[in-house]
């Protein structure tokens, strides 16, 4: 089953109030609530576009996949790439506890990546 998997993105972006964030981005209050609580029955392309734009991600980042026990798929099926592995540690916690040398190297890599995109 495909589902919106936005909690890790909100956490990584430091978004404490996802519903207000989505409403401010132009998604109706009702739709935002359905998206956040996994009750969305359809994937509207305009919503996916808004989510990708404001969360600075791509569509595959928004989705997760849980296998239905009644509909097994092979291990090499592409949907398995959407299975989410949750990290209990936030990015901020990771950075805060990272040794200074690693933090400097990470900053260097980020800067190089940003320069390459220009």
The whole-number pLDDT of residue 68 equals 86
Of 6-15, 50-59, 88-97, highest mean pLDDT: 50-59
- Does residue 27 sit in the same domain as residue 80? yes
Q: How many domains does the chain have?
A: 2
The mean-pLDDT minimum among 64-68, 81-85, 109-113 falls in 81-85
Annotate the chain with three-state secondary structure: CEEECCHHHHHHHCCCCHHHHHHHCCCCHHHHHHHHCCCCCCCCHHHHHHHHHHHCCCHHHHEEECCCCCCCCCCCCHHHHHCCCCCCCCHHHHHHHCCHHHHHHHHHHHHHHHHHHC
The whole-number pLDDT of residue 16 equals 92
- Does residue 69 sit in the same domain as residue 22? yes
- Does residue 82 sit in the same domain as residue 106? no
Q: Residue 105's domain spans which residues?
A: 89-118
The whole-number pLDDT of residue 86 equals 60
What is the reported pTM?
A: 0.70
The mean-pLDDT minimum among 21-25, 83-87, 94-98 falls in 83-87
- Percentage, residues of the chain above pLDDT 70: 95
- Does residue 56 sit in the same domain as residue 98? no
- Does residue 58 sit in the same domain as residue 102? no
Dihedral sign, Cα of residue 105, residue 106, residue 112, residue 115: negative
Tokens of 62: 């928004």
Report the CATH number that the domain containing residue 44 is assigned in CATH. 1.10.260
- Does residue 77 sit in the same domain as residue 29? yes
Cβ contacts of 25 within 8 Å, gap of 6 or more = 50, 51, 53, 54
Work out the mean pLDDT of the chain and round it to a whole number.
Answer: 88
- Does residue 33 sit in the same domain as residue 16? yes
């Amino acid at each position: 089953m495909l589902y919106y998997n936005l909690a890790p993105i909100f956490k990584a972006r430091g978004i404490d109030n996802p519903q207000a964030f989505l409403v401010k981005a132009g998604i109706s209050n009702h739709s935002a609530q359905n998206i956040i609580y996994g009750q969305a029955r359809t994937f509207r392309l305009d919503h996916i576009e808004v989510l990708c734009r404001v969360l600075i991600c791509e569509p595959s980042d928004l989705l997760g996949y849980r296998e239905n026990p009644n509909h097994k798929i092979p291990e090499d099926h592409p949907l398995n790439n959407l299975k989410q592995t949750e990290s209990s540690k936030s990015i901020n916690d990771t950075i805060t506890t990272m040794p200074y040398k690693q933090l400097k190297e990470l900053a260097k890599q980020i800067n190089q990546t940003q320069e390459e995109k220009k």
